[in-house]
Chain A
Amino acid sequence: MRLLKLVPDDTNIDFVRLRHAAFVITTLLTIAAVAVVFARGLNMGVDFVGGLMIEEKFEAPPPLDEVRRSIERLDVGEATLQQFGDPRTVSIRLPVPDSTDEGATNAVVEKVEKALAAEFPGATFSRYSTVSGKVSGELVNHGILAVVLAVLAIGLFAIFRFEWQFGISTVVAIVHDVLMTMGFFALFREWLVFDLNIVAAVLTIIGYSINDKIVIDDRIRENMRRYRKMDMRQIVNLSVNETLPRTVMTSLTILLALAALLIFGGHVLRGFTAAMILGVIVGTYSSIYVSSSLLITLGLRAEPPADKPGPAPSNAERVGPRSGS
């Protein structure tokens, strides 16, 4: 049986040559992403801004205008309506009633329920959430803290296990990934809600992206020991090429799994999966064009101090030119 080979043996693509152009493009894209976030804002879920979210399932796809009108009649504040994937499911967002009375929020939920059920027979609620301003503030802080801590901890680990340049380049690449994801969510704010699930997605993207970078970094470190005299650009190129089959293979497998989740996983997970898919693509890109390329710019040397003990001394026996390249 002939086995599938996605990437031919001994590729020798000169990734590094394009790095200056890539830096410019990456920087511009990142700035654009940040600009989009500021210009359009994120479509924050009730988790982060507080409020009330009712997800209603109708018998048949309802006309949104009518739904909106019947809610407006209740005088419960301005409603934001949104349809996800399934046209029969409508999410209704309302501000938390301006009252200290505990029952007020429940009363709103009940009112909306009754009105919709009366006007659209067969409409039932799928779920609802209410988050007070106090909690949402904490959730935002915790979310930001989690992301920042994750980036820092991973950067420190990279510095500890590798050289400082690896730490810096990794952190820069991850910040890029996170910003791009946020830009994506701002760009498609009509379809994607930024909520707690997305913070989980961002943290996973960070995890995945770092995973990808460590694999290449690990190879770069190995090649630096093996070819002490080799130019750094060559080493990076060689390492990226050597790990290319793995990069392609893994990204494709994960994308396959995520595609299944996106298509069949139901609408609740859709935003999460969309974020993950983007993250895998962006993360793979940034492994090559941000973190690896940045190592060259940061002046990582192919010749480490002679007395530096390596964690994998067994590499010594393998010094030799790479065959066929």
Chain B
Amino acid sequence: MLDFPRWKVTSIIAFIVALMLLAVPSFFPEEQTAKWPIPHPRVNLGLDLAGGSYLLLEADTKDLANSRLEQMREQVLTEMRRTTPRIGIGDISIRGGKLSFMVRDASQVDAARERLLGITGSGAGMTGQRQWDVEVVDTSRFVLTPTQAGLNEAITTAMGDATEVVRRRIDELGTKEPTIIQQGSDRIVVQVPGLQDPQALKDLLGKTAKLEFKMVDMNADPAELAKGNAPIGDEIVPYPGNPMGVPVIAVKRSTIISGDQLIDARQAFEPQTNAPIVDITFDGEGGKRFAKVTQENTGKQFAMILDNQVISAPSINEPILGGKAMISGSFTVDSANELAIALRSGKLPVALKVIEEHTVGPDLGQDSIHAGILASAIAATAVIVFMLVTYGRFGIYADLAVTINIFVILGVMALLNATLTLPGIAGFVLTIGTAVDANVLINERIREERHRGRSVVQSVELGYKEASRTIFEANVTHAIAGFIMLILGSGPIKGFAIVLLIGIATSVFTAVTFTRMMVAIWLRRNRPSEIHI
């Protein structure tokens, strides 16, 4: 037990020094460490210390389900039209989460079914379940019901894309080290440290940025539109800035061009009025289409629809060739820029809303860091003095172990790229306390054995041996609580649990192995006949 060959001493010290070295970069400002030629892992500061915003976003899955139905309606229409001979359908409607339509000629039901099976896809991911159930009721009416498996798959895909889009949008804001992680099936956690204006972030994330260009139905009667009656084949879209007086406008259902075909969007100024606008550039396909449509419809109006709201409805004065267009509306420079970012980063496949937010101002973060450091320093000093006066030499060993332990924890945290939060600092303080407990257990046991009349060496040996078992058991139970916090906890609980768990692991090493080595070396060198403990 007290036998420490040289190689063992060397490796223990090397191990400790290595872990402590890992903590060093965290004590220097980031600008400085960035230039270091060697790897420099850092402990990240949590938002409560660094200041910043935490946002929990949730996808509107209902909205996603609806847009899937809409898409399917479009698909069905195109598919039936494309078939030769053309399959005539009618009475197409979406009701109760289902899409239904009639096939006019009953003899075409089988052909229609075949077509439908093609587009409703059998391969819903790995489960192999269908995306949609296709039923025929009343001989010629088809009912398409989205299956749960299909919907889940759509959500998964949409969330993957949405996370990407959110990441791109936040990167555009130019903040440092944002964290964007998908959580569960329909949530995204966004953490942006040091953000000055969380409002801008939320405005940006709130935009779906679904951009569509559709033709305006010039023949629609504004009075009828105001009542909510759309001409056949049209839909009514809100248009707050409509010069016709009514805040709505009728557009053709089919999209002539969509935001997917964008390759760039920039904030700019209208040459004549100097008003802020957004310049957009289409890809080759989109540009061609745009040119064709504007050629065919010169003199008519088209609508630019963003997130289901018309921003502007310009008249086509001449064919627009070259794949460039501009979106004008009542923009400010900031809102035009935001829209440009949103358009550049692509549309969000599903609407996201903020369901939880925590924002910490930079001042409070600074105050918390100072308070935390002060409290930890005072706590450590108090504990160190207390151990020293109680256990003498053995107290010094314990103190050394505690001090080393603090740096080792920081080192391990840096290595794991863990985040230090305010509750984490509390975890530190508590770890100082519990790490000392291990030494208290050992030292009290040595005292006890010594008191029972055992020799110095025997007492020390038994002290470590008996106490180690207790320490092991106590730490395992402590770790159980820690793991449960880590798994189930959110936010502050997690930050605390990380420090606690690392602390449990490292404190066993420093408080038991390291002090035992120190005591063993001392015993071997001095062979004391009496110990003060």
Contact = CB atoms under 8 A, between A and B. Distances in A.
Interface stretch (B4-12, B100-108, B468-476): B468-476
A102 B206 contact: yes
Contacts of B485: 146, 150, 200, 203
Nearest to A211: B474
A245 B367 CA distance: 38
A142 interface: yes
Contact of A211 (B374, B386, B478): B478
Given A130-B357, A135-B355, A204-B500, A266 B447 contact: no
A150 B375 contact: no
A190 B327 CA distance: 55
B363 interface: yes
Interface in B151-175: none
A146 B488 CA distance: 6
Contacts of A161: 473
A312 B371 CA distance: 45
A124 interface: yes
B488 A200 contact: no
A273 B451 contact: no
B481 A210 contact: yes
Given A106-B199, A215-B441, A258-B433, A207 B533 contact: no
A246 B466 CA distance: 14
Contact of A250 (B425, B437, B480, B497): B437
Contacts of A269: 371-372, 422-423, 425-426
Interface string B368-401: 1011101110111011001101111000000000
A114 to B, nearest CB: 12
Contacts of A210: 474, 477-478, 481
B2 interface: no
Contacts of B370: 266
B209 to A, nearest CB: 15
A154 B481 contact: yes
Interface in A260-307: 260-261, 263-266, 268-269, 272-273, 276
Interface in A100-152: 102-103, 105-106, 110, 124-132, 134-135, 139, 142, 145-146, 149-150
Contacts of B349: none
A306 B506 CA distance: 38
B293 interface: no
A95 B437 CA distance: 44
A134 B355 contact: yes
Contacts of A268: 48, 364, 368, 422
Contacts, number: 241
B484 interface: yes
Contact of A157 (B392, B425, B476): B476
A253 B488 contact: no
A142 B489 contact: yes
Contacts of B469: 218, 311-312
A311 B493 CA distance: 35
Interface in B410-451: 422-423, 425-426, 429-430, 432-434, 436-437, 440-441, 444, 447-448, 451
A92 B52 CA distance: 19
B93 to A, nearest CB: 26
A261 B452 contact: no
Contact of B363 (A57, A139, A242, A259): A57
A72 interface: no
Contact of B375 (A128, A261, A314): A261
Given A264-B374, A269-B422, A157 B477 contact: yes
Contacts of A154: 477, 480-481
A273 B477 contact: no
B489 A211 contact: no
B364 A254 contact: no
B356 interface: yes
A29 interface: no
A44 interface: no
A260 B481 contact: no
A146 B483 CA distance: 10
A145 B477 CA distance: 17
A55 B433 contact: no
A257 B433 contact: yes
A21 interface: no
B118 interface: no
A42 B21 CA distance: 45
A257 B473 contact: no
A247 B58 CA distance: 48
Nearest to B484: A150
Nearest to A266: B371
Given A197-B423, A264-B374, A312-B469, A207 B358 contact: no
Given A203-B493, A214-B470, A269-B426, A127 B386 contact: no
Interface string A165-207: 0000000000000000000000000000000110110011011
Interface stretch (A3-11, A62-70, A74-82, A228-236): A3-11
Contacts of B426: 261, 265, 269, 272-273, 276
B444 A196 contact: no
A252 interface: yes
A256 B429 CA distance: 10
Contacts of B451: 9-10, 323-324
B317 to A, nearest CB: 36
B353 A204 contact: no
A127 B364 contact: yes
A253 B437 contact: yes
B188 to A, nearest CB: 13
A127 B478 contact: no
Nearest to A103: B206
A264 B371 contact: yes
A319 interface: no
A301 to B, nearest CB: 21
A196 B533 contact: no
Given A204-B481, A268-B422, A250 B436 contact: yes
A28 interface: no
B433 A253 contact: yes
A95 B376 CA distance: 36
B356 A261 contact: no
Contacts of A219: 470
Nearest to A86: B367
Contacts of B465: 314
A202 to B, nearest CB: 10
Contacts of A266: 367-368, 370-372, 375, 422
The 5 closest A-B pairs by CB, nearest first: A266-B371, A254-B433, A207-B481, A257-B379, A260-B379
Given A260-B376, A266-B371, 16 more contacts: A9-B451, A154-B481, A157-B476, A197-B423, A200-B423, A203-B493, A204-B496, A207-B482, A207-B500, A210-B481, A218-B470, A249-B444, A253-B387, A265-B372, A269-B425, A312-B469
